[in-house]
Chains A and B, each alone.
Chain A
Amino acid sequence: MRTSSDIIPSRGGVRLGAVQGDRLWKRFRADLRKPFLIDRIEYVRDRVKGDTSGAYRWALRDVDFTIAPGEAVGLIGANGAGKSTLLKIIAGVMYPNAGRLRVGGRIGALIEVRAGLHSDLTGRENIFLYGTLLGLKRKRVAQVFDQIVEFAQIESAVDRQVKFYSTGMQLRLGFGVAAYLEPDILLVDEVLAVGDSAFQQRCLERMRQVLADGTTLLFVSHDLATMEATCARGMWLRDGALAQDGPVREVLGSYREWVEQFAETLESGDGPVRVAKVDVHGPNGGAPHSYEPLYVDLALESDAARDLALFIGVSEGPATPIFVARGAQRVKPGTTMARCAIDHVPLAAGRFYLWVAAFEPGTVATDLVPWHPARAFEVIGPQLEDTPRAVVRLSPVQVEHHWDFEAV
């Protein structure tokens, strides 16, 4: 079998499916968008003057890791933390400025929507082109061709140029090409979020199959629940540096905590109504427990007497709320204390966000306090049972239930 070490001579030297990054550094020019002669002259002038400040920005700083064949690694980090840059370097599209990278085997990469698709070529031509790039024989590509077309659902469009494809079709073809042409290492960028949920499920399904076949997976996503369900190991990039590398739950935990630091500092604004204080607690003032009562205390400040429609919600991450509760009250000028009591809180153990909003009721509701995450809180309780990988997303809600089994 041909490996990518044949394509790029200095790569390789590790086992098939392994990725080894050794103190990787990558910088970008600050004036990337201006590759004109005048910029070159300015650059040379600055260099002559000895002024190199601000000319570069480090996108990756001293990133050190070893990924064993068959591992499933989730790569997380805020936008601009260097995730895509790292993927591109592993894919062999970019080169690091310092450090060493060794990659064993063929790489299938889905980087940005179109992956490596050529928009002037038809779907069919693209599949064969990518296959030959990976070093597969035409005959071998022909064998998986139908599977790719079926996965991408482009049967009727396979002989049309890719530039006439919808974004969804391009994405499906890009993923199909990357994931079906027998890669030893599969790189998936956060683009999956662009697809609809049915497609996302099929991608996850395919990723699980590929993992089961022993392929190494490196997966970038902001969907932490999916990542937790798919990957065993997490790598957290922060400002281009590897902040944490370990079991996915631990890494995601630290990452969430880090994100919350910023969520907690969110101000509720200085409109006519302000949420001055938010507190979430159990019956005795401590952290709430699963199934036990949970109280949300709010201090509301209003500049005038008015009708208020008050909403609170709970979410797991910075996403859709798990549930919301609505309250209505006419408030007087000054401070009003509001308490919402939930008798049996259905949340499993973990960290959650409390969201708050206030509206002026009427035909068109006016925003008094916009819907925003007001604070994070912890729920104490039993850990959820592990669900099979990626079959079901890990659920944040646990409901009271019982089973009956009866032989018939």
Chain B
Amino acid sequence: MRALDTIPPEPPPEIAFHRRVSLLGSVVDLVRSYEMVTTLTERELRIRYKQAILGVAWALLQPITLVLTFTFFIGRTIPSDDLGMHNVPYALFNVVGLIPWTFFASAVGVGGLSLLQNLQLVNKISCPREVFPLAMVGVAVVDTIVSMVAVIALFASKQTAPHLLGVVWAVPLILLELMFTAGVTLTVSALIVHVRDIRQVLPVVLQMGIVATPVIWSFSKLTRVWQIGYSVVNPLGPVIDAWRSTILLGRAPDLTTLALATVTSLLWLLGGFRIFKRLEASFADLL
């Protein structure tokens, strides 16, 4: 039997455990756990779209009511010249900004809480924990695809065809937004475990975001200095502006602000992943 009083009160510092996390290794683990992500995403979607017709209707309800409200109250009070949009109907101007914003907001809003909501799994099985927030980003992707129905219907009702340039730019713009969204979702979901108050603050911030992001107003109307500054803080500004230029006007997007947005998004993604991996080791202790 061991004499228990010979144990020092604290571990000697030389044996302290340092979790080595390499970015590449983590990504490999994550790719191997893709089935976990798909299962969680699938599950969430199945609950949401259980009744096929109604499910889709609910997914469309939010963007449609928002576009109608904005168009009715704001569209008729702002002269379309002030949007720098020539004769593009306000509803189209609005929906092109609303969809990227809604994607971001729902991914962060649901994904941010995903660790708290899955604590029974986080607590008991060993897997890369980022599968939980990333699965919710996946859900937001599907929701956004479904809401395309509303976008198409709006374009049809205004008898306007989107410009093909938008299709060309779709891939980089979507990637850009995915990087930013994933980075923010990872950061929020990890921090929320340590500081639960974020749970109360998050909806407020997201509510502010719909006004602070150029959903109802035009990014191109900002002064150049403001545009540059804004792009560093919120990459969604230049992204939405780029969608509007390409789809609605058939013009090439502003590459300067877009480049800044890319840098910011990349920093969010890498930083968010790092923060997440740093805090991951203590999740099970705190949940």
Contact = CB atoms under 8 A, between A and B. Distances in A.
Contact of B121 (A7, A32, A116): A116
B52 interface: no
B11 A118 contact: no
B50 interface: no
Contacts of B121: 116, 118
A123 to B, nearest CB: 13
A47 interface: no
B195 A35 contact: yes
Nearest to A94: B284
B22 interface: yes
Contact of A121 (B15, B25, B43, B282): B43
Count class of interface residues, chain A: 35 or more
A201 interface: no
Given A35-B196, A243-B4, A118 B120 contact: yes
Nearest to B38: A132
A112 interface: yes
A366 interface: no
- For chain B, the bracket of interface size reads 35 or more
Contacts of B286: 32, 35
Interface of A, helix, strand, loop or mixed by DSSP: mixed
A40 B195 contact: yes
Interface in A1-42: 4, 6-10, 22-23, 25, 28-29, 32, 35-37, 40
Contacts of A130: 125
Given A95-B19, A99-B17, A35 B194 contact: yes
B9 to A, nearest CB: 8
Given A9-B25, A99-B17, A239 B4 contact: yes
A88 B124 CA distance: 7
B4 A125 contact: no
Contacts of B197: 36-37
Given A36-B195, A111-B124, A116-B125, A93 B284 contact: yes
Interface of B: 1-2, 4, 7-8, 11-12, 15-17, 19-20, 22, 25, 29, 32-33, 35-36, 39, 43, 47, 118, 120-121, 123-128, 193-197, 281-282, 284-286
23 contacts: A6-B29, A6-B32, A7-B127, A7-B128, A9-B22, A9-B29, A10-B19, A29-B285, A32-B285, A35-B194, A37-B195, A40-B195, A91-B126, A96-B17, A97-B11, A107-B126, A112-B124, A118-B121, A129-B36, A132-B33, A132-B39, A133-B36, A241-B4
